[in-house]
Amino acid sequence: MFKKILVANRGEIACRVIKACKELGVKVVAIHSEIDKDCAHVRLADESICVGPGPASESYLNIPSIISAAEISGADAIHPGYGFLAENTYFAEVCESCGIKFIGPSKEAIDKMGDKIAARELMMKAGVPVVPGSDGPVSIDDPNIFKLAKKIGYPLIVKASAGGGGKGMRVVATEEALENAIAMAQTEAKAAFGDESVYIEKYIEEPRHIEFQILGDSKGKVVYLPERDCSIQRRHQKLVEESPSPFISAHLRRKMGRAARHAAEAVKYVTVGTVEFLVDKSGHYYFMEMNTRIQVEHPVTEVITGIDLVKEQIRLAAGERLTFDSGDVKILGHAIECRINAEDPDRDFIPSPGKVTQFIPPGGPGIRVETHVYPGYTIPSFYDSLIGKIIAMGSNRAEAIARMLRALDEMVIEGIKTTAPLHKKIMQHDYYHKGDVYTDFLPKHIFRGR
Ligand code: MV4
């Protein structure tokens, strides 16, 4: 096991990782920007080092400064959390060359999954279903492009190879719109990622977003855990996640879980990761992408399985073995997570930073809260607007919803606007109760006419 871990992150995830380190008996170093010196993660850690000014590019993304902090403090591993440097292969490489363990998969695994065209090809070889589409990149100069598009069938979607999270995507309804969509997607991709490669896929209408947590050890063993349903999103930002999915049968869970395991095995995956699928109305599932990090929504899986994913992640990075199989994992109940963002849902979700004048987190039976916020804390405008997560667990879905509503009512947070009132509307919605959740839920049921 490691002796000392540096946590290269801030906010709720830095706090979460520090708690795992403490339970493992590993010393932990926090890093922080100048404006973050009073943050909860700084107080929770055994020691802390300032790595630069407020802007993330000068602090939480400042690789030389972070590596220096690890060397000065004598850390033998770095946990990147999510966001910032978590999927940066260059950072993983620098850690390795400095003799510091990057707590995550190999840089090769990050690279392969970061390139969506390469990942598609690799998944096809591994027998994991992908959406029918082009083999490799497409361009408007390709004389066969219209034939290929016709064969795939309209509507189709143009995606950036370097994309993910919805950037550089375009839906194409008819042949007339194809050329223009490809050209625009290429321009967008070039500007956003410095790589203009785009590919096309059949467009799956009203899909569900279903993802599988996987864990892998350095002996090549991979296990999958029950799925998370992350269909309720706004502009590709997840808002509500739950596990298990109300839509997935035990049979489909096993089939998709095995596909997720094969996806991870294809890149010799070590530590924790997530395989995302699109699922259509008939239950056909298609590989979408793989996230090579711990994710925001990991707690819903933790509470329904009893597995501490962050501790497992650290143990696996340290070379320890997986001690269980997918078949050993029991689903202990139903869990829902609501992401609390410092945003104003009534004003198109504009960020709402500032001082939290009053904060009373919810608690009691079945409620877990992950947050770095305390009364008097000032939310800076430099970073992500996620300020906390409420996770409600019940013996069934109805109990989890009732507990979430009770927790949302109980929570007091003053001085800033948050997404909590929106979550109350979702939790009270008939279609949510029915489990009729898919990616168009918010525009269709909550924001209709706005
Ligand atoms: C799709 C799709 C339909 N068909 N691909 C959105 C994020 C990016 N990772 C891929 N995304 C989609 N890809 C095909 N072939 C619909 C989406 C999509 C979506 C997916 C999951 C959750 C929310 C979404 C919202 C809009 C579009």
- CATH number, domain of 146, equals 3.30.1490.20
CA distance 155 to 131: 13
pLDDT band at 440 (very low <50, low <70, confident <90, very high): confident
Minimum-distance ligand 1 atom for the alpha carbon of 276: 9
User: For ligand 1, atom 19, which residue shows the shortest CA distance?
Assistant: 439
Same domain, 187 and 221: no
Q: What is the average pLDDT value for the chain, to the nearest integer?
A: 96
Do residue 258 and residue 353 come from a single domain? yes
Whether 336 is covered by a domain: the verdict is yes
Quick one: pLDDT at residue 438?
A: 84
Task: Give the whole-angstrom CA distance, residue 4 versus residue 267.
Answer: 28
Q: Are 419 and 396 in contact (CB under 8 A)?
A: no
Active site residue 293: yes
CATH of residue 327: 3.30.470.20
Alpha-carbon span 363 to 342, nearest angstrom: 20
Most ligand 1 atoms within 8 A of CB, residue of 198, 439, 442 to mutate: 439
Is residue 276 domain-shared with residue 240, that is, in the same domain? Answer: yes
Q: Note whether 87 and 156 are same-domain residues.
A: no
Position 167 confidence tier, pLDDT thresholds 50, 70, 90: confident
Q: Which one of 288, 291, 442, 444 would you pick to mutate in the ligand 1 pocket, going by the greatest count of ligand atoms within 8 A of its CB?
A: 288
* pLDDT higher than 80, residue 85: yes
Residue 325, pLDDT score: 98
| Cα atoms found within 13 Å of the Cα of residue 38, Cβ hemisphere only | 10
Q: What is the DSSP letter of 223?
A: E
In a domain, 72, yes or no: yes
Q: What's the CA-to-centroid distance between 238 and ligand 1, angstroms? A: 12
Of 252, 279, 276, 253, the C-alpha closest to 263 is: 276
Specify whether 145 is located in the same domain as 258.
Answer: no
- Residue 230 sits in the same domain as residue 96: no
- b/e sequence 121-145, b meaning 16+ C-beta within 10 Å: ebbeebebbbbebbeebbeeeeeeb
Q: Is residue 112 part of a domain?
A: no
Which of 441, 419, 418 has its CA nearest to residue 430? 441
- Do 149 and 268 belong to one domain? no
- Compute, in degrees rounded to 10, the torsion defined by CA atoms 178, 179, 184, 189: 90
Say if residue 213 is in the same domain as residue 196: no
- Domain-embedded: residue 307: yes
**Does 170 lie in the same domain as 70?**
no
Ligand 1, atom nearest to 202 Cα: 15
Q: Is residue 333 part of a domain?
A: yes
Interatomic CA distance for residues 336 and 178, integer angstroms: 39
Q: How confident is the model at residue 410 (pLDDT cuts 50, 70, 90)?
A: very high
* Distance in angstroms between the alpha carbons of the first and the last residue of the chain: 53
Q: Is residue 336 located within the same domain as residue 352?
A: yes
Question: Which tokens go with 357?
Answer: 């004048």
Residue 1: per-residue pLDDT:
98
Average pLDDT on 27-42 reads: 98
Ligand 1 pocket: which of 113, 115, 230, 236 to mutate (most atoms within 8 A of CB): 236
- Cα–Cα dist 58/41, whole Å: 19
* Contact 232 CB / ligand 1 (< 6 Å): no
pLDDT band at 450 (very low <50, low <70, confident <90, very high): low
Residue 127: inside a domain: no
Cis peptide bond prior to 129, omega within 30° of 0: no
Is pTM beyond 0.85? Reply is yes
CB-ligand 1 contact for 163 (6 Å cutoff) = no
In terms of domains, do 171 and 218 share one? no
189 with 258, same domain: the answer is no
- Of 16-25, 167-176, 306-315, 411-420, the one with minimum mean pLDDT is 167-176
- Does residue 164 line the site of ligand 1, with CB under 6 A? yes
Assign residue 70 the CATH number of its domain: 3.40.50.20
pLDDT bracket for residue 439 (50, 70, 90): confident
Residue ranges making up the domain that contains 40 = 4-103
CA of 203 to the centre of ligand 1 (A): 8
pLDDT tens digits for range 222-260: 999 999 999 999 999 999 999 999 999 999 999 999 999
Task: Say if 110 falls within a structural domain.
Answer: no
Residue 121 lies in a domain: no
Q: Does 201 contact ligand 1 (Cβ within 6 A)?
A: yes
Number of domains in the chain: 3
Question: What are the E-state strand segments in 90-154?
Answer: 101-102
